[in-house]
Every structure is written in C-alpha cells, then in structure tokens.
Amino acid sequence: MSTGFLAVNNNNEVLISSDTKNLQFAGKATKPSTPLSNFVNHGGFVELVYTIVLSDRSSIPVPFFTMPDDSKFHSIAGVKGVNSGTLEKTWSITILRSGGSTTQVTMPEVYVFVEPVAITMSGGNGLQVFNDDTTVCFDSRARPLAVTNAVSVVQPSNPVTSSSFAALSAAQCGGINNNNFTPTQNNSYNFGTTTSQPTKPMYHYNGLAQAQREASFYQYVESCTGFNIYGFCVGYESTLANTSTYWAFYRGAIGGKTITGSDTYLKAGWIPVIAGCYWSSVSSGAFLRIFGPGSSGSSGGAWPYSDETINLAAQTVIVGDASRYD
Amino acid sequence: MAQGIEIYDEDGDVVYSTVDVTWNQVASFQVNGGASVSNSYPILSGKTVQTVQMFINPPPATRKALAHTVTVTGTTVAVSGGNEDILVLVLMR
C-alpha cells in the first residue's frame, strides 16, 4: 500500500486495512417468542427467525449463533433483508436447531457483525479508518470481530442408516408418528484444545447441505369370504396391496460437542426439518374368480427428490467469543 | 506489549489488539438463482481467502434447492451453478 492504513497482527495477518472493511458488532438479533415451525419426531427440530435492523441497505450481516445446549445441532438456513423505515433494512436470520424444545431459554443467541457503515455509533472518542471512497471501514466504537478458530467441515452423505429402521405400517401411512429418521451419522472434527476454547463460543455456519431419505413398506393381503379349499377360494376372494413410503428431509448443521482427552470436538451432522409419508393401495376382488370389482388405488404427499444428498461440500465454521460482545 | 497496536474503548478496556485474528470483508454481493458472477479483487493477492455463501430464503419443500459453487482462483472469485438466491461474502486476512 502506498497510502492508507494497515495494521497487522502477530502473524502478519490483516487486522485493519483501508483496502477492506472490518466486520464489527452491530448487536444481538431479536429472539422470536415462538418457533416458525417445529416437530418432535426424529430427534426434534425448531426453525427460529431472528430479526435485526441495520442502518445501511447495501451492507450484508454476518450472523453468529451460540449453542445453549451444545449437544444439539445448529445452522444458519437463511439471511434475508427487506427495506424498512427511510434508510434501514430489516434482516431476518433463520436458525435451525435440533431438539424439540420451544422455550426461549433454549434458543441460541445471535450476534450480528457487519461493516461499520451499517452500525449506528455512539460515543465521541476512538479510531476511524476510511476507504478510498471515504466510507468508514473501521470504527473502534463498535467492537470488531475477532476470530478464535476456523475449521472446514462436511457432513457424511447419509444422515441415517436404513438398517436401523423399525418396521412400519404399510397401510395408508399408519406409522406416520415414527422416529426412524433420527440422524445417526456425523463426522467429528477437532476444534483445538479444550483450554483454548472461547469463554462463550459463537459460530458462523451455513447449512447448505440437504438430504432426503425414504423407506417403503409393503404388505399384500389375501382374504376369502366363503370356503378355502386347498388354497382355492370358493366364494368371494379379495386382495389388497399396500405400500407406504416414509421420508424425511435434512439440513446440514454442526453440534454434538464432545471432549476427548485434552481436545474439544464438534460434529458435522444433520437436522431433520420435514418428515412425511405417501402411500398407495390397490385392491381387487372376484366371485369364484370370474366376476369382480377390479382394482383401485390412491396416493398423496411426495418429496421433489428421493434418497439423494445435495450441496454436500466443505463449509468453514468460523468461531468467535461472544463474551467479548456482551 | 512491547510492539503492536492496542485499541481501547471509552471505558479503558482493550477492544482490539495485535494478538487478535479476524477476517476482513473485501466484498459482499447477491447472486440470484441461475446467475453467474466472476469478480477480481487484486487485494486478495498473497492473502488467505475465505468465502461465505448464505441462502437468502431457507430451501423450500417444493423444489431441489441447489447451492452455487464458489471458487477462488488467484484473485478471482467465481460464483455459478445454483438455482437459489444467495449472499456471498469474500473475506481475507
């Protein structure tokens, strides 16, 4: 740099530069009073929408979430801004969390960082750095983002193994309240020594990966109204073939914190976010196998793709210490 | 500290110093579903680069929501291949 300002850290990495913008603490996003959606099967899930208003419409917020229960899995599902007021933008930050609890105390806290131009500053003293276009790129009155770790993670392609599935009803989705799709598969990553962990860890992680898994159960029933002689029905014979296909849709997430030896581990796993079932039923009947009503069937409720995992690519978990911003 | 920089708040507490690590924002932009973007940022030369992709809307239940592929080659950041609207952050340190 020939002109401007540059501060580097002990590793010669950029701390403040007039060629970039620092991400600084804009505030905590407002917790929802209730989840937007939730269910309790398959390990449970809540979808939480937080909001925050920023004073500049062109700036994009970077949310970090805490894990009040770090045995649960969490991820960022969406970050959407809508213009509000005269110059502001209201951002909705959607966080997914496994586990069925809907109480506010179990919801993560969401810390939002953004370039300083989008933050309403208070106080008269401090250090400001400007970009070439005269916009403020660092302002010490808003606490800058400090990162404690960054770890690249990826989920296993399959959230659950079908070999562990319990047998479910084949008739018209009669086993809809099952728990077969509770995620069992994850990848574990070392996040460093336990003594070096932040006082109050906060994480930025986007759940881009998605998976759908399904399992079909089939049943064939023959019945005879009359006499059954050596397997031949003398009277009215009917058959019924039922198939129910149960499915669940998952989003990628991190959580399941464990300590092994002197190190702390987090897992890249899955959160089930929607589950359902579709079915078909075909019946036929005949009197003395000569006359009969024929067959019928019905179905409903399917997913747009089947037994597939998409967007499975390594994403970086950025870690900070939320206690610096409380 | 013998050398470096310390920045204090009005209460006299250090809020940022040479012992800290951060990712600074080089660019942020939106890429719509089906669109492609390729931008060059000379400032990235010789730096460690991190990109962040965020869905704007949580993936719906009615279609296959494909994320974009974000690649960094030298000082060029390219985004393509997805069918969802996303936000992209280019960070460096």
* Position with higher pLDDT, A176 vs A298: A176
pLDDT digits (tens, 9 = 90+) for A210-240: 999 999 999 998 888 877 777 777 777 788 8
pLDDT digits (tens, 9 = 90+) for A65-101: 999 999 999 999 999 999 998 899 999 999 999 998 9
pLDDT at A290: 46
Dihedral over Cα of A209, A35, A60, A86: its sign = positive
Residue A43 main-chain phi, psi, to 5 deg? 90, -10
Which residues contact residue A138 at a Cβ distance below 8 angstroms, ignoring those fewer than 6 apart?
Answer: A16, A21, A22, A24, A116, A127, A128, A129, A144
Residue among A284, A280, A301, A302 nearest A293 (CA): A284
Summary mean pLDDT of chain B:
93
pLDDT digits (tens, 9 = 90+) for A261-272: 999 999 999 999
Across A154-186, the runs of DSSP E, i.e. the strands, are none
Residues of B with CB under 8 A from a CB of A: 4-5, 7-10, 15-16, 18-26, 28, 30, 43, 47-48, 50, 52-59, 61-67, 69, 87, 89, 92-93
Interface list for A 59-78 with B (CB within 8 A): 59-60, 62, 76-78
Interface list for A 112-171 with B (CB within 8 A): 115, 123, 125-127, 140-141, 143-148, 150
What are A21's two structure tokens? 């913008």
CA distance A62 to A313: 20
CA distance A91 to A107: 18
Provide the ipTM: 0.94
pLDDT digits (tens, 9 = 90+) for A283-298: 776 655 444 444 555 4
CA distance A273 to A251: 7
- Residue from the list B8, B18, B50 with its beta carbon closest to the beta carbon of A316: B50
What are A228's two structure tokens? 């059954």
pLDDT digits (tens, 9 = 90+) for A113-139: 999 999 999 888 889 999 988 999 999
CB-CB under 8 Å, B62 with A80 = no
Q: Give, rounded to a whole angstrom, the gap between the first and last alpha carbons of chain B.
A: 22
Average pLDDT over residues A28-35: 96
Q: What type of residue is A33?
A: S
| 0.80 surpassed by pTM | yes
Average pLDDT over residues B29-50: 96
